[in-house]
Amino acid sequence: MPVHNADIAAIFEEIADLLEIAGDNPFRIRAYRNAARTLRDLSHEITSMIAHGEEPTALPGIGNNLAAKIHEIVDTGTTPLLGKLRKRVPPALTELLHLPGLGPKRVNTLYHELDIHTVEQLYRAALDGRIRTLPGFGAKTEQRIVDAIRARSTTSRRFKIATTAPYAEALVTYLQQGPTVTHVIVAGSYRRAKDTVGDLDILVTTSAPSRVIDHFVKYDEVAEVIARGSTRVSVRLRSTLQVDLRVVAEDSYGAALVYFTGSKAHNIALRDLGQQRGLRINEYGVFRKDQRIAGETEDSVFAAVGLPVIPPELRENRGELQAARDGTLPHLVELSDLKGDLHAHTTATDGRHSLKEMALAARARGFEYLAITEHSHHLSIAHGLDEYRLMTQITEIDRLNAQLSGITLLKSIEVDILEDGELDLPDRVLARLDLVVGAIHSRMHLSRAKQTERILRAMDRPSFTILAHPTGRLMPERDPYDVDMPRIIHHARERGCFLELNAHPERMDLLDTYCRLAKQEGVLVSINSDAHSVLDFHNLRFGIGQARRGWLEKEDVLNTRPLHALLPLLRNCIKREVA
């Protein structure tokens, strides 16, 4: 059976989890986690690399040992090391690591002190008040555990869009190679570019439905056929992702695409609009009484109710139908509109490629500029820069800019916003930079009022330029911190600074609703990769999807501007006087 990058990454993550619980060498643990991230961010399948004679050691952070493990997994679907670790540490313990506030040390304590192996055992222990008695826990931690488990039990499993993308793209390719297929498209929340996806809805048109369904269920990754009919089949892949395939008639293709793209609220509003015109709209077409008048294309469905086609990302019943009626639908930003990236890391901190390698990769993508934004020294786990090391990097950037053509490296830093709202480096140092990206990496559980005031005070510093990943979420491990985003967006407008939409698949932050609010306030949004390797620039497409869901146009995005237009905006921001 085919092995995807995500499959290998999942095995490496489990190995890292088990090693961490067992108290193994932290450098060995980090190597597996970095390898997992490299594989997830890889824009092509590693199995294809190996098939073409390329070795995994060509990838950053993959040495001979990890490369051998990759070969084992590609050949057999697993590696003997995982089996050994599962015998040494109960594998169910790794599930506990995914609960907020439970790192490996705490999981180890729970295991050895209370013999807790599973989430269910943990929940019972928390309800019994046994967890608060352990050193380093307490009543508040115990209650957070209860809340997290309850929230988890009421939430259906969803997959990050970047995780589902390789499966969706591989399935489309597979189906296109099947018998007599004319159209294949992934609809649903995936097509609407939601940051997470519950399942995949695939539409197919063909003259031989039964042959296409037979071909589909023979796909190597299908683990279970859930339901099967003459024009529809639901399966579960080995990754546990559910895929629903629907064969639709050619003359109903557009109507089916509208219907199965959704959202449900958008479809209801569209049907209501049709009813006002005496029309019935469903997945089979647009009908006046019993006569079909449209449905072959999406254009025809929307035209039947007097509207232009509404981009899939906007179909959430958030005013898009009215905007279409008024002729005010936005011309949504495209990936090709980006002229550069304003958030990237190198080997100077926790990145995996050198300054020159990152610059060349950015140039290869057609970028005019790339901001180098290492962590500041407060984030010690990432080997953050102090004043001396930052000045050294500034000199290195100047030297490289003098050597390279076609790309300009901007001098910056991702400076920590401390608990009191101060920045991790003094203003006199930050003033030496082209821009300053401020971020929160600690004290996530402050009250809404304190967290908001912390950010507002940081934004008031004279060199503050961009607020990075503004709500701090990490999917699925960490929820957004509690903060008054409307107030922060309003303050950004008053102070003349900008907000980031972080395109890393675990962040996707700003949320789409906040992107739209920023647009309404006139606050520019910077769509950044937060790249820690040359492969991470690939994630920008997911950030673009989120921006489009937030109604952002080219002019609403800071880094769609060419360098000559960007620099004055940055200078105006960084020279601002503190009120």
Provide the 8-state DSSP code for 361: H
The arithmetic mean of pLDDT across residues 491-507, rounded, is: 94
**Residue linked to tokens 């006046």:** 288
Task: Give 280's strand partners.
Answer: 287
What mean pLDDT value characterizes the chain?
90
Share of the chain above pLDDT 70, in %: 97
Average pLDDT over residues 396-409: 96
Does 242 have pLDDT greater than 70? yes
pLDDT of residue 547: 98
Identify the sign of the CA torsion 358, 29, 376, 455.
positive
Name the pTM for this structure. Answer: 0.79
> Which residue bears the tokens 């995994």?
56
Q: What is the pLDDT of residues 409-455, one digit of tens each?
A: 999 999 999 999 999 999 999 999 999 999 999 888 888 899 999 99
Across the strands, what pairs with 376? Answer: 385
Residue with the bigger pLDDT between 300 and 574: it is 300
Could you tell me the pLDDT band of residue 575, with boundaries at 50, 70 and 90?
Answer: low
Compute the average pLDDT of residues 528-532: 95
| HEC assignment per residue over 50-67 | HHCCCCHHHCCCCCHHHH
Report, as an integer, the average pLDDT of 150-170: 81
Cα-Cα-Cα-Cα dihedral sign, residues 15, 20, 23, 24? positive
At residue 352 the predicted structure's pLDDT band, cuts being 50, 70 and 90, is confident
pLDDT for 37 equals 84
φ/ψ bin of 50: left (φ > 0), alpha (ψ from -120 to 50), beta (otherwise): alpha
Confidence class of residue 277 from pLDDT cuts 50, 70 and 90? Answer: very high
Taking each helix axis from N to C end, the angle separating 161-176 and 209-217, rounded to the nearest 10 degrees, works out to 130
pLDDT surpasses 80 at 303: yes
Give the integer Cα–Cα distance in Å for 325 and 523. Answer: 26
What pLDDT is stored for residue 382 in this prediction? 67
Residue 136's region, left for phi above 0, alpha for psi from -120 to 50, else beta, is left
Model confidence at 155, pLDDT cuts 50, 70, 90, reads: low
pLDDT band at 574, cuts 50/70/90? low
| pLDDT tens, residue by residue, 322-335 | 999 999 999 999 99
How would DSSP label each residue in 258-322? HHHH--HHHHHHHHHHHHHTT-EEETTEEEETTEEEE-SSHHHHHHHTT-PPPPGGGTTTSSHHH
The runs of H, that is alpha helices, within 154-263 are 161-176, 188-191, 209-217, 253-261
Encoded amino acid at 384, one letter:
G
Q: How far apart are CA 166 and CA 6, in angstroms?
A: 8
- Give the C-alpha separation, 80 to 99, whole Å: 27
- Over range 303-317, report the average pLDDT: 96
Which span out of 119-123, 379-383, 533-537 was modeled with the highest average pLDDT? 533-537
pLDDT at position 568 is 94
* Domains of the chain by start residue, with CATH: 5-153 (1.10.150.110), 159-247 (3.30.460.10), 252-326 (3.30.210.10), 335-574 (3.20.20.140)
- Range 553-575 average pLDDT: 92
Q: Could you list the beta-strand ranges (E) of 443-560.
A: 466-467, 498-502, 525-528
pLDDT band, very low/low/confident/very high, at 89 (cuts 50, 70, 90): confident
What whole-number distance in Å separates Cα of residue 572 and Cα of residue 463? 10
Res 577: pLDDT: 45
Q: Above 60 in pLDDT, residue 491?
A: yes
User: Has residue 406 got a pLDDT over 90?
Assistant: yes
Please tell me the distance from the alpha carbon of residue 238 to that of residue 255, in angstroms, as a whole number: 31
pLDDT of residue 42: 77
Query: Of 140-144, 295-299, 338-342, 523-527, which gets the smallest average pLDDT?
Result: 140-144
The whole-number pLDDT of residue 91 equals: 66
Asked whether residue 320 carries a pLDDT value surpassing 50, the answer given is yes
Averaged pLDDT for residues 70-99: 83
